[in-house]
Structure 1
């Protein structure tokens, strides 16, 4: 299974850019031929060259865009499902197919236009064939405008995605909005996600890396989840669910025992139960904000979740101990087995 290779993503021209490019290529061709050749014949030859060069150039650009887009069937399920969640698989395939197949329509227009030029009996016939050719091609480009705009949006989205390697052991940090997930990832890894004191700051998945004696482990900060059925979740929440489903080697469920996140401890408990019931990766719970939680709030969280650690992400207190616990319990055994297998 492939990952999205950002270096291979195409530049998707807008419809207006393609029209300008098409007309510029058309006008670039200049008259050639013998000086003794009749002007009418020279004009026909020039018009045919213009049609051939401009049509061929446009067809090549459109086909190149389509072929450079990722093939969904070859992508890792995480990327494939992510595109489906954000844009829709059918929308993606339709846009790629329509743009990719447009080269055939351009070639057909060019053939018909060349035939019209050859059949012209005077300069008026040549001008009529030219007008028809340019108008039809511009109409075709304008017809592709929605698909071009959609692919531009998709490419921009894919370029902004962090470089996720599905083959690496991955810790996913999950929980309700504003419980401190971004701050936790910032404390323990190379990631520098945006941190703010309001819900849904994390609009996309962010990836950090932890280096272990030459090896690398991924840690992912996911958008906050809400306590409601999957069918009712928004696109931001579904991105988090995809990370849980396809990437997680272990899940750290972060809890805010205080009222500051805006989500009750009971809501967070329901969310925790949903995650443990629906995802195969092991889940550990960690209480955050111990710097501001009172003793009653902490005791309530401990009784409901039995956390493996308690942290304060405002100053990173206890965060490295939590990560070391997760790595020793879930990653080290896997790494040792791989090492043993490699030595056999």
Structure 2
């Protein structure tokens, strides 16, 4: 018996539960029966794809229960999105509202009536209905694309979800997308209504008047909701500018009070070039750089400074720092400034440090005392308590560093390199795509 006959017999031996066979299955079946697949292996491979209600056919002809796989694209997409960051860089380019309107009007005017209509009134109402339908679609389709492609927050990485909430406020991202979708629905409703009126016109003049009225109503509806598109454009620009942190690459996160010298350390450690000024909260977002040490590539993040206050009193700028620490696998470089130059007292820095160390002490950790060239040499040999010792030397094991004089910089780079090598062992394994 030929391979084609065996395949044909196998296909008819096992009942298929549904009578509806997809076009793909039909094409494959025809290909096997006609011998286009050529080999017995190809025939059996196709049989292996078919699931009966009771069993599956293997290459040796034996039976076994079918293995059911999930083929839900939305589910697979959501699971994939939930495993990694970088969704913001995949956002579509949002066209300004005025450009969408101008393009739609131009394309609608170029629509001609269906050929072969001799009657003038019928030809004009056909043209009017088609132009309004085109105008409606050219306005509504981009909006539908935006609503579908912008990510749902519940499928985002927790870090990116936090960035959205802290940047735009709780629920505002969803409100913008909801307004865009409402505008789309309104345009479709108005467009269909007036296109239907055009199609019912009895004279050429009536069709022209209804076309003019339909254009006016669609433009009015679009103008009333175009602020939603402007807001979406702002959202897209803001999200696309946010730094991408690779969770599979060792990352160093600089933490501390405002103006303690974190940005200066980022500049000497990495390729990042954050603004360095002598006032608090220079860093108002998460800034990224990369470190190249011994031909190894690492990430470094400069985060906004933390003030001494309760968790529920922190502003969104401070919460960006906590989002990085909470949701990303990072090592911590905690920066202390004991010179009195940063605007946050040593007492307050000590309190902030203890709070953060208690919450995130499970992370790999390195302490640095910056601006050590501004510190007065201490002659005290006796330290009364932890706070007194902190005011003089910083935490135990802290590295004294001065960016101005270069003191301690090389030691810091060596310690950072060792810290990031250790961090590498803690990273999640990257899934094969």
TM-score, structure 2 length as denominator?
A: 0.70
Alignment of 1:318 with 2:399, yes or no, is no
Alignment of 1:291 with 2:373, yes or no, is yes
Cα RMSD for the two superposed structures: 2.7
Taking a change above 3 Å as real, the CA distance of residues 152 and 316 of structure 1, as seen in their structure-2 partners, is farther
| Distance in 2 of aligned mates of 1:291 and 1:113 | 76
| Distance in 2 of aligned mates of 1:196 and 1:294 | 23
* SS across alignment from 1:260: coil
**Counterpart pick for 1:252 among 333, 338, 343:** 333
| Distance in 1 of aligned mates of 2:277 and 2:283 | 9
2:124–2:208 contact (8 Å) kept in structure 1: no
How many angstroms does 1:257 deviate by? 1.0
How many angstroms does 1:315 deviate by? 4.6
* SS across alignment from 2:136: helix
**Counterpart pick for 1:305 among 385, 395, 399:** 395
**Counterpart pick for 1:12 among 72, 77, 94:** 94
**Counterpart pick for 2:266 among 176, 179, 185:** 185
1:23 matched residue in structure 2: 105
2:140–2:187 contact (8 Å) kept in structure 1: yes
2:193 matched residue in structure 1: 112
* SS across alignment from 1:197: coil
Matches within 5 A, 1:221-236: 221-236=302-317
* SS across alignment from 2:282: coil
1:63–1:101 contact (8 Å) kept in structure 2: no
1:341 matched residue in structure 2: none
Taking a change above 3 Å as real, the CA distance of residues 57 and 316 of structure 1, as seen in their structure-2 partners, is farther
Matches within 5 A, 1:23-102: 23-30=105-112, 33-34=115-116, 37-100=118-181, 102=183
| Distance in 2 of aligned mates of 1:10 and 1:337 | 34
TM-score, structure 1 length as denominator?
A: 0.87
Deviation per residue, 1:112-153 (Å, 9 max, x gap): 222201212234432443244223322332343332222222
How many angstroms does 1:5 deviate by? 4.2
Deviation per residue, 1:45-95 (Å, 9 max, x gap): 211221122222222211122223233222211111110111135221222
* SS across alignment from 2:126: helix
- Which segments of 5 or more consecutive residues in structure 2 lack a partner in the other structure? 1-82, 381-388, 428-433
* SS across alignment from 1:261: coil
Deviates more, 1:272-281 or 1:127-136: 127-136
1:281 matched residue in structure 2: 363
1:164 matched residue in structure 2: 245
2:10 matched residue in structure 1: none
Deviates more, 1:226-235 or 1:99-108: 99-108
Answer 1 or 2: which has greater helix percent. Answer: 1
Deviates more, 1:295-304 or 1:306-315: 295-304
1:175–1:255 contact (8 Å) kept in structure 2: yes
Higher relative contact order (CA 8 A, sep 6+): 1
| Distance in 1 of aligned mates of 2:161 and 2:198 | 47
* SS across alignment from 1:144: helix
| Distance in 2 of aligned mates of 1:18 and 1:65 | 13
Alignment size in residue pairs: 337
1:174 matched residue in structure 2: 255
Deviates more, 1:251-260 or 1:10-19: 10-19
